[in-house]
A and B are shown apart, each in its own frame.
Chain A
């Protein structure tokens, strides 16, 4: 325990002197990096606009109330589209993620040296690109519309679902699989009777969890033209129809809250 003798009495310290010094040095480096980055950002900022912002915010808020409730009639179809994008995208992702996860899990992969790295690569590259960038790419390739959104959400979610699923597969109780093997089961029977029942709750939980995230993400895909309520948001903002914008924000808020509630209920029922 690091202590120090001052005037005959021992005083307790949390760290030794060297350690304390290292901690301070770490802080110093961190702050230096932060100040450097901050200066660079500050150079690119027009500070007049920033100081003016509170006035602008009040002005904008005034223009946003009251929400234009009659616009709701136009919004039902985009809301339905948004939910479809999230749901169908999640379904596509699950269908692809299951085989990928079985290939990536150490205990079920056909080959540790060839198939597993390939599966891990699919997982990482799907996860590292944001769904909005996937959508941007797909809109250029297959044109604007719901299809681009569905595929973008699907591609983005493969990595997420497969990663959580393969971790669940690696954590299963092996003795149950052994029991199934002992009855003379073939490899595919081991999979369907020994492993699948064990990961079923995790699988359902992951799907619902990702669906919830996807609802959130699909509300903005319209900004790049991939369908859903984001399209209306984009056009309302660019035509400065602020009363419509506030209604859309409320609708997004409500959709997110409802989807979160649904997913919490379902996950609660499963686990």
Chain B
């Protein structure tokens, strides 16, 4: 607020209160941008070429060529779907014990640390890097992709499951314990009903993510539609690539809408 002789002029309070921090932040951003653009090597001539290619690529969407590569597109999409389903199921099955172990209110300290360690490691590397190594170890094909997606699922699902169990209502758990339930009965009647609705929703969400990821593990040889897509880009067959992209977008959209619908229905 600013006091002058005749009138008081209101000024909007800034988002960051300390002026030193505020100006320092702007200054830092400016220096960073200067450095970043100074060190980036961009081949503008090559980028300009992209305009004509881009036009060709966009034209390929009208109409996309579904027919000439239809067999391999169909194969790839089906393979992606199998991978999605199996890896989600196996990943969730494996993540349940890990998630239970990683919940602070359920397990002992050493078990907790061990399970948290598993979750941290499986979450750090992107699925695609895992896929590279699994392809090296298990050979080309959907099995490697399936393993990579499963490991990714364990990290994602186990962490959220553990957090959800930690957040549950202890009163209900205590009530079940007080009637003399054993550990498994306690899990089944006290913990599971509390976390189940959210977990079903997250499982469907993960199915969604796994399909998107299964479209790219093929780029490194992990099976699925990615390999077909990579080949069609490498051959400059933009109309086939456009067709594949449209199939992927279509499936993802259908899955996203139906998963949103199912999640609302479950909760």
Binding site for B on A (CB under 8 A): 14, 30, 33-34, 37-38, 40-42, 44-46, 49-50, 53, 56-57, 60, 80-81, 84, 87-88, 124-125, 128-130, 132-133, 136-138, 140-143, 145-147, 193, 197, 200, 204, 216-217, 219-220, 223-224, 233, 237, 249, 252-253, 256-257
Contacts and interface: CB of A to CB of B under 8 A. Distances in A.
A237 B47 CA distance: 28
Interface string B15-49: 10000000000000000100010011111001101
Contact of A141 (B32, B57, B124, B128): B57
Nearest to A256: B124
Contacts of A124: 253, 256
Contacts of B12: 193, 197
Contact of B46 (A33, A45, A143): A143
Helix, strand, loop or mixed for chain A's interface?
A: helix
B142 A44 contact: yes
Interface stretch (B80-88, B154-162, B168-176): B80-88
B248 A45 contact: no
Given A141-B50, A142-B46, A45 B142 contact: yes
A216 B32 CA distance: 20
Nearest to B217: A132
B220 A130 contact: no
Given A34-B86, A87-B36, A128-B248, A136 B126 contact: no
A143 B49 contact: yes
Most A-side CB within 10 Å, residue of B126, B233, B248: B126
Nearest to B189: A14
Nearest to B257: A124
Interface stretch (B94-102, B106-114, B133-141): B133-141
Helix, strand, loop or mixed for chain B's interface?
A: helix
Nearest to B188: A14
Given A37-B82, A44-B79, A50-B143, A142 B47 contact: yes
B86 A44 contact: no
A200 B136 CA distance: 46
B236 interface: yes
A129 B245 contact: yes
B240 to A, nearest CB: 13
9 contacts: A34-B85, A60-B137, A84-B40, A128-B252, A129-B248, A132-B216, A133-B226, A136-B233, A219-B126
Contacts of A50: 138-139, 143
Nearest to B139: A49
Nearest to B220: A223
Contacts of B148: none
Given A34-B89, A46-B141, A137-B57, A41 B83 contact: yes
A45 B143 contact: yes
A40 B82 contact: yes
B190 interface: no
A249 to B, nearest CB: 8
Given A128-B249, A140-B233, A147-B47, 10 more contacts: A45-B141, A53-B137, A84-B39, A87-B36, A125-B249, A130-B216, A132-B219, A133-B229, A143-B50, A193-B12
A167 B152 CA distance: 27
A49 B42 CA distance: 43
Contacts of A49: 138-139
A146 B36 CA distance: 11
Most A-side CB within 10 Å, residue of B41, B46, B137: B137
Contacts of B129: 219-220, 233, 249, 252
Given A128-B248, A128-B252, A220 B86 contact: no
B124 A128 contact: no
A139 to B, nearest CB: 8
